[in-house]
A and B are shown apart, each in its own frame.
Chain A
């Protein structure tokens, strides 16, 4: 079974600075998707960024970028120019590319990010 590990339960960053959240995963599959979701205090789950494992290029969405290291099974999220609105729980998630039936997301335990004004 796939597992996703986020080793940093909490992190903090100064406003306008850069922070990197770590995620590792375990899978025997060669093709899969990885995601970062953000959960602000409103509890809404918001998609931040998505990475296809077959793509070597790291995904980027505005101030958010990932460092995808397939061999190391590592998928970190970098937030540049941090803003107060970035304060939230961040979840790393794994999803198979194709399978016998399910395309469910497997989530890590999350990292709580605080942004200091």
Chain B
């Protein structure tokens, strides 16, 4: 157990819908990263937050957004969902910007 929690574990929804994925970092960790794992694209970095502020963006679609709250938990919002958004979404956290990242169990999103 890495200490990073993600909810829900599984999510099944329809095209065009909007979902929110939640991540709680390890106790004391300030940095949160979101990654997407799909069969065709592999593991890709989406976005990073550090102590409530957006730090970096990767290959994140405009339909996707995220935020980190004062209690340091983070949410990833996915809207206007398409079949191709079906993937495993991981959250990772680290204590500082340079620390090792520890991953949560992931949320499996299926878009029908």
State whether these chains interact.
yes
Interface residues of B, CB < 8 Å — how many?
A: 25
Interface residues on A, range: 20 to 34
Chain B residues with CB under 8 Å of A105's CB are 33, 35, 43, 45, 92, 101
Contacts A101-B55, A104-B56, A110-B42 given; does A47 touch B48 at CB 8 Å: no
Chain B residues with CB under 8 Å of A95's CB are 101
- For window 53-105 of B, CB contacts with A under 8 Å fall at 55-56, 58, 88, 90, 92, 94, 97-98, 100-103, 105
A44, B44: Cα distance in complex, Å: 16
Smallest CB-CB separation from B94: which chain A residue?
A103
Task: Find out whether the CB atom of A102 lies under 8 angstroms from the CB atom of B48.
Answer: yes
- For window 25-51 of A, CB contacts with B under 8 Å fall at 35, 37, 42-47, 50
* Interface residues of chain A: helix, strand, loop or mixed (majority): loop
Chain B residues with CB under 8 Å of A104's CB are 33, 45, 48, 56, 58
Chain B residues with CB under 8 Å of A91's CB are 43
Contacts A47-B100, A50-B100 given; does A102 touch B106 at CB 8 Å: no
A27, B87: Cα distance in complex, Å: 28
Chain B residues with CB under 8 Å of A103's CB are 31, 48, 56, 94, 97-98
A97, B98: Cα distance in complex, Å: 7
A: residues with CB less than 8 A from B are 35, 37, 42-47, 50, 91, 95, 97-98, 101-110
